[in-house]
Structure 1
Amino acid sequence: MKLSLPLPSLGKKTKTVLGLHYTDKVIRLLELGKDKKPVSEPVELSLEGKDKERVLRELVQKHGLSGKRVAACVSVDDGLLKFYKYPTSMSKKDLQSAIEWSIKRELSAMKEETYYDYFILEPGAEEKQVGVVLVLSRKETVEGIRKMLENAGLKLHILDYEPLAIINYGIYHRLPVPYSILYVDYNYSILTTYSPTNIGYYVTYWSFMEFLKSKDEESLESFFAEIRNIVVLNDLSSMYVAGPILAEEEMLTRVMENLPILGLLDLEELKPNFFIPYILSIRGMEG
């Protein structure tokens, strides 16, 4: 069965969609209007010691969100992204057959029933290969998200994949290609890369919130070293930083001093914590 996990189509538009992002630490809700401004106060609540389904139900009731359509995302740990390259000289029929064969091969290696979706990237005029993005996630995970939303009185409109949601920000805002985005949340980071011939992501579990408490310089230097190694080994350029870390001035300064950051992906009137709900809401309206 297929998911709704492609990169965005910037064509037809629909009514407002609630962007939902949750981690093991927090749950975030944001609904944008057609002017890309919040239609109500964005919500971020801690999930420490709480059941996220109960928290979501209470938020829906408190803010009168029942019946809203939602754009959510499968967390980076609950999905898998594969990137394939095929010659641009292939016919559409042969390309489709090659993609279907690759999907069957991936599904055969899965121990559990798996949902998937794929997206074919448009190659540049000079490109000799076409890229195909395949995302897979366990049926149990996807149906769990759907059930959680339904029990809270919400409707699942689009289910994205967390790394692709981050990449989608760059596509929507037309960042110069190729680009990389380092998204730093409270207790994990995702470094994504995008070009017409490559999409990738790397996850680290360093916690800047824990660092603020412990001041463990060794852990911070280890984080910087890991990111620098990824940058060097993959020859990454044009790296931007986004996420809750932008609100911590001291930490952001350290990041800028130690990593080759080109710019900050600030949301202007929104707290940087809502980076993913922001692009999910846009994705929901325009996808």
Structure 2
Amino acid sequence: MFFYMASHGVANSDATAVGVLEDVKSAAHRPWSQSINVTQLATALPILGADGCWVFLDACQEVVPEILEQVNGVQSQPLITYSVTDLARRRTSSVALAGSRLGGTAWAPTDGNPPFFTQALIEALRGAGVEFFAGEGWMVTGLQILFNLDHIANAALNNAGLQTESLTQFNRRVKLLRVAAPMIPVVVRTATENHMSVAVSVTASDGNGRTYTKVGNDLAWRFRVEPDQAVFTAQAQFAGPHPVYQPASFIAAPPAQIVELTE
């Protein structure tokens, strides 16, 4: 069972939390107070018949000019509380939490799309955050989401600042779901950013008949490949004698590949 919550806060100049606003309604729906109680959630899992529960929390904040003159920010209530003892008594295989790092500023695109953490999480669950298990195939794992979501966000969303953290400790390679045909994001950039937009041709080939070709004049080229461990060579061609970029190789391995061409 998955539970996702987006939470936004307000901070003063030294990043002291002033308040936490919830985007989902809790039972009492009390703004500025705790949104969920993991212990209560764990209690309900056996009733639901869930084998385990994963909670993903997107926590970002913004700085409001009106509060910058305050000497000290008002400490908010804890966003999430949990009791390890109570969790240990529940008959479920796992209750674990992973989230974006509380304290980041403006972790959402300006075009109205979902927050970067949300988009990166979806990208991971749909197939980028996978590991291969003999006899089971490709499985999305908590390990990939916790430690590699920033890599996925960089390759798929051009967001290099995403930070994730564990809100509880877990040390098992928990399998979340099976993906029959995963695809991982790949991004190819040139060392000088605007060179990519004027390239006549940018390709990536595995030497066995699979070739991907860049379309458009974007500053970064993004596409998806099967995570079959094939070795691809990316290269860029230009109309004039300069610039000259060297080919770069990458392995089609999860969760994502970030390739930079250099002169």
TM-score by length of 2: 0.27
Which structure has greater strand proportion? Answer: 2
Which structure has greater helix proportion? Answer: 1
Query: Which structure is larger by alpha-carbon Rg, 1 or 2?
Result: 2
Higher relative contact order (CA 8 A, sep 6+): 1
